[in-house]
Structure 1
Amino acid sequence: MTMRGGTVLEVILQDLFESFSPLIRAQVFAIVGDASATDDLVQATFLAALDHKDSLLVDKELLKGWLLIVARNRAIDHLRRSSRLSQLDVGTLGSSHEENNSVLDRLVIESAIDTLSSDHRQVVQEVLVNGTPLVHLAATIGVPEGTLRSRLHYAVKILRTKLDNVHDTR
């Protein structure tokens, strides 16, 4: 049976893609920080759903949760392939769900920081990660302290938005 240029299944899948792709795209981008890779991973996620269409099309909320899990796992696999996770000591991966989520949270934060402009990334890295006082950083790099405060403020605002988007998708 066909409807408006496609089978019923194609129409349903198109509707699901339109409904869930923004949410999945936001989650994946927050993890990998690369638009091109995000597009590929979102597409791969929906192709995986196509392989499981018989069991997943029963409940839209079940499908949403499944898609988010598959997308997250594909994004993590992408990071592994790009050597991002290979820098982690396997011993740091804990046996509990909470410990593993902590590692994933750290990766999401690092990925979000990597998407910042170089000026914003530098001030976040030095002040928030390394604990360098703003006054020392200003003297070291020759930028006024007020400028660094402004960069830090906007960087934190950007990170908060990105991390809120990730949190909303979990």
Structure 2
Amino acid sequence: MARTRAGARRDAADEALIRTLYEQHGGALLAYAVRLTGDRAAAEDVVQETLIRAWRNPEALTEARGSVRGWLLTVERNLITDRFRARAARPAEVAEVSEEIATVPVERDHADGVVETLVMTQALDRLSPEHREVLRSIYFQRLSVAEAAAQLGIPPGTVKSRAHYALRALKKSYAGGSGSLKEVAV
């Protein structure tokens, strides 16, 4: 039973030591760690580890051996330096992916774009040369109706009507929905 009382007294003394250290130096330790790490959560972890080191080395906490705060700040700086060195020496950590994000495709399949390009090229090839030239002028060269009319040597109204019928024919080519190309009659 004497051993239990002694253990309880030692636990109470240890708790009092850590509580006193934190009350006297905790604010300065946290401020210093936040300044060095730039991360409050990491700084709190470092302060906790510093206090554990103090608890394991109570002989270093006497004013006869120097400033207690100076010792604590030195231990803290060394812990932060060790963390930075360890992080630099190992590969970067990969964040966990939530189930919600894991089920969403990252990027659309490249093959679909290739197929659509081929289908569109075939549909354009099936248009009459006049309709194809109007679409190329307006959509690929990004000319205005007036600029396309001047380039092609036709009235603006003709550019508009050819563009209308060409787009309608392209739309019909996709009406099957499966991406198959139907004969485009313009």
Q: Fold match, TM over 0.5?
A: no
| Higher radius of gyration, 1 or 2 | 2
- What band does the TM-score fall into relative to the shorter chain? 0.3 to 0.5
The structure whose residues are more often helix, as a share, is: 1
**Bigger RCO (CA 8 Å, 6+ sep):** 1
TM-score calculated relative to the size of structure 2: 0.39
